[in-house]
Structure 1
Amino acid sequence: MYAYRNEFTQASGLRYLNHAAVAPWPRRAAEAVARFAEENVSIGARDYPNWLILENTLRDRLKRLLNAPSRDDIALVKNTSEALSFVAFGLDWKAGDQIVISNEEFPSNRIVWEALKPLGVEVKQVDLSGDDPEGALLAACGPRTRLMSISAVQYASGLRLELERLGHGCQQRGVLFCVDAIQQLGALPFDAQACACAFAMADGHKWMLGPEGLGVFYCRSDLREQLKLHEYGWHMLEHAGDYDRSDWRPARSAKRFECGSPNLLGAVALEASLSLLEEVGMSAVGQALNERIHWLQNGLDRITGVTLHSPRNPARRAGILTFSLDGWDQRALFEKLKNEQIVCAQRGPGIRFSPHFYTEGHVIEEALTVLTQLASR
């Protein structure tokens, strides 16, 4: 992966281990945005049709990243929360319907379902701490369960779930399967068809190495028209661009969820970032990330007083390791690491490290050295 070193020229002395929050851009994304800005300065929107071609190139890259059947299954959205809201407030709920989630979800994948309480919808939170979290989730699905919504990888613990087992289990029970893929998409291979999900969504600013403000919403083709729309505008029409047409209908494709003018600046950056991931190949990205997580885990295990709060089984993790250090308040430890230019996050019971495929060895070793010194105080 050192062939891509020139793509990530971060500040000297910086140890960036925070891709599960907001990732740095690769150089090609910054250069693409600079070209786009210069074009706007010099000729404005004269070549707007070319921008729409790039937007479709981005859809194609996202289609491949999710292994969606068609580009038509891909909507470009503001963020994961917006996509989850399309599902939550698009389905036709009845009083007594149930939704199954876990007790470890990021607020985006909890609040949106709890907001359905006035409609009489019940949210069941399942404890994932046992030996068989998938079994526990599926066991919680009863005759009134309409939907299971789960994070592919839990944001605090880093627990990675077996999506295929969950998806096929939901299918057998007649339950819709919704995947918040934000902590897996761009980190490890993802397959919307293999896991039989009805919906999947993710922001571009984490493992996909893109900007904030642009994400992806995968909606299975047979479900698109079942989601009631609450946003309307010129861009989401079947005949978008035919401004004088008086009869209209929402687009048959997932563009029906994109009501107005697209975020083309974000699309320029994200398309460039995804071109890098495609160039490397998601299999190679996942392998390199696994190696770095293994490296980090071994190093943490050698530090006296460190407790690991993430799974040790490689099949149960993606790019997140969360730990605590005896004798240190977690907020104080976070601030100390920040002062040492180690960019990380305070999540759940400890400190969360999240490297990416390109993270160089010296970054990992220097972070471990700092922790070793702090443990001896």
Structure 2
Amino acid sequence: MSMFHDEFELAPGLRYLNHAAIAPWPRRAREAVARFAQANVQRGASDYTAWLATERRLRDRLMRLINAPSSGDIALVQNTSQALSLVAFGLEWQPGDQVVISDEEFPSNRIVWEALADRGVEVVQASLAGDDPEAALLAACGPRTRLLAVSAVQFGSGLRLDLERLGQGCRARNVLFCVDAIQQIGALPFDVQRYQCDFAMADGHKWMLGPEGLGVFYCRTALRPQLKLHAYGWHMMDHLGDFERRQWRPAPSARRFECGSPNMLGAHALEASLSLLEDIGMPEIARQLTLRIEQLHQGLANIPGIRLHSPASPEKRAGIVTFSVDGVASSAIYQALTAEGTICALRGPGVRFSPHFYTKEHHIEEAVQQVRRLAIR
């Protein structure tokens, strides 16, 4: 693992614990963008066929990362919100249909379903506060439920749901299963086939270590024709590149959801970042991240007055630890930490730490000691 620490060039004195928001790029992503920019300056689009090869490698890497059946199941989208909108406004709804979500969702996975109110769609929120959040979600799925939409990992608490159990429950109830996977893909293994996902989506700028503006959308093959398209253009046609053709149809692959010119700059960066994840392997990345999350849990738990809002059980954790300090405003803790070089976030019930596999153990220890000083003032 030590060789991969060289991929990251954080500024001296900086402890970066904010991968659940926006991640720093690895060196290879910066170098890929620099090469792309230099080639563009000197040659314009002369090397477009090579650009397309990079884009194909990106689709292949994303296919392997989420275990999609084929690269044709991968659509490159702007972000998670766009992919969720493709589902929400692509499905044919009937008045009285219900969508079940949790009560802790990031706005992207709540607003998009609430926006269907004028079509008679009702949003049902299930509480995740109990001992069995998966049971609560499935119990909320009644005879009018059309779709269950959940985040794989909750952005505020860091709770990781049992997606395999939820997928099985959806199949048994004939309910579509949609997963906002932005807080899991790149942090822990993710498997659309094992989870029986109908739809899954994620941005590349968090745990995948890529740029903003490029993400992945998976749609199960049988469901692609059922999503009504609302955006059309040259890139989503079956006969891509045949500009004179008058008879056209959408591509049968997930490219049908990509109406216009691709984000080639983002593709070069994300493809490079994913090559790092593949070089290390997701099992090893998950192992290293798990060690760092355990270090945070143990370190913070020993501080007087600390309240941990993230799951105690390792099987319910991902890469997020959220905490507060009794008697101290979380905003004050956050401001003091960031002022001292610990990059984190103010989310949900407190301050959110989110390291990654490469985060140095002494940076975690330093952050814990900062919290200790702030808690016992």
Q: TM-score range by the shorter chain?
A: over 0.9
Does the 8 Å CA contact 2:333/2:371 hold for their aligned counterparts?
A: no
Partner of 2:283: 283
Deviation per CA, 1:273-298: give whole Å up to 9, x if none. 00000000000000100000000111
Q: Which whole-Å CA distance do the structure 2 matches of 1:133 and 1:2 have between them?
A: 38
Deviations 1:215-253 (A, max 9, x none): 000000000000000000000000010000000000000
Amino acid corresponding to residue 276 of structure 1 in structure 2: L
1:166-177 superposed matches below 5 A: 166-177=166-177
> Could you tell me which amino acid in structure 2 is paired with residue 100 of structure 1?
V
The alignment's TM-score, normalised by the length of structure 2, stands at 0.99
Q: Within 5 Å, give how 1:117-156 maps onto structure 2.
A: 117-156=117-156
Q: Counterpart in 1 of 2:302? A: 302
**Alignment correspondent of 1:223:** 223
Between 1:350-359 and 1:362-371, the stretch displaced more is: 362-371
Give the secondary structure class of the aligned counterpart of 2:192: coil
1:32-51 equivalence runs, <5 A: 32-51=32-51
Cα deviation, residue 139, structure 1: 0.8
Rounded Cα–Cα distance in structure 2 between residues aligned with 1:140 and 1:331:
34
Q: Retained in 1: the 8 A contact 2:188–2:282?
A: yes
Counterpart code for 2:159: L
**Residue 85 of structure 2 aligns with which residue?**
85
The equivalent of 1:25 in structure 2 is 25
Query: Counterpart of 1:193 in 2: which secondary structure?
Result: helix
Distance in 1 (alpha carbons) for counterparts of 2:96 and 2:372 = 53
Give the structure-1-normalised TM-score: 0.99
Cα shift readout 1:9-67 (whole Å, capped 9, x = no counterpart): 10000000000000000000000000000000111100101101110100000000000
Percent same amino acid at aligned positions? 68
Distance 1:92 1:370 in 2: 52
CA distance, structure 1, for counterparts of residue 219 and residue 372 of structure 2: 46
| Residue identity in the other structure for 1:77 | V
Which residues in structure 2 correspond to 1:1-377 (within 5 Å)?
1-377=1-377
Provide the rounded CA distance (Å) in 2 between the counterparts of 1:303 and 1:246.
69
- In structure 1, how many angstroms separate the alpha carbons of the residues matched to 2:280 and 2:295? 21
CA deviation after TM superposition for structure 1 residue 330, in Å: 1.2
Q: Aligned-pair distance for 1:333?
A: 1.2
Measured in 2, the distance between the counterparts of 1:373 and 1:2 equals 30
Deviation at 1:327, TM superposition (A): 2.7
Amino acid at match of 2:286: G
Q: Could you tell me how far 1:371 is from its partner in structure 2? A: 1.1
The residue matched to 2:243 in structure 1 has which SS?
Answer: coil
2:303 and 2:130 map into 1 onto residues whose CA distance is 27
**Contiguous gaps of at least 5 residues in structure 1:** none
How far did residue 373 of structure 1 move?
Answer: 1.3
How far apart, CA to CA, are the structure 1 residues paired with 2:330 and 2:311? Answer: 20
Cα deviation digits, residues 195-232 of structure 1 (max 9, x gap): 00100000000000000000000000000000000000
Runs of 4+ in structure 1 off by over 2 angstroms are none
Cα contact 2:345–2:353 (8 A) shared by 1? yes
Code of the aligned partner of 1:309: H
Separation in structure 2 between the aligned mates of residue 132 and residue 349 of structure 1, nearest angstrom? 20
AA matched with 2:11: A
Q: CA offset at residue 326 of structure 1?
A: 2.1
Q: Which one-letter code corresponds to 1:233 in the other structure?
A: G
The count of corresponding residues between Structure 1 and Structure 2 is: 377
Letter in 2 for 1:10: L
> 2 CA distance for matches of 1:299 and 1:272?
34
Q: Tell me the CA shift for residue 6 of structure 1.
A: 0.7
Deviates more, 1:362-371 or 1:99-108: 362-371
Q: Distance in 1 between matches of 2:368 and 2:318?
A: 20
In structure 2, C-alpha distance between the alignment counterparts of 1:14 and 1:195, rounded to whole Å: 37
Which residue type is aligned with residue 321 of structure 2? Answer: L
Q: Secondary structure at the match of 1:194?
A: helix
Deviation string for 1:311-355 (max 9, x for gaps)?
010000100000001231111111111101100000011000000
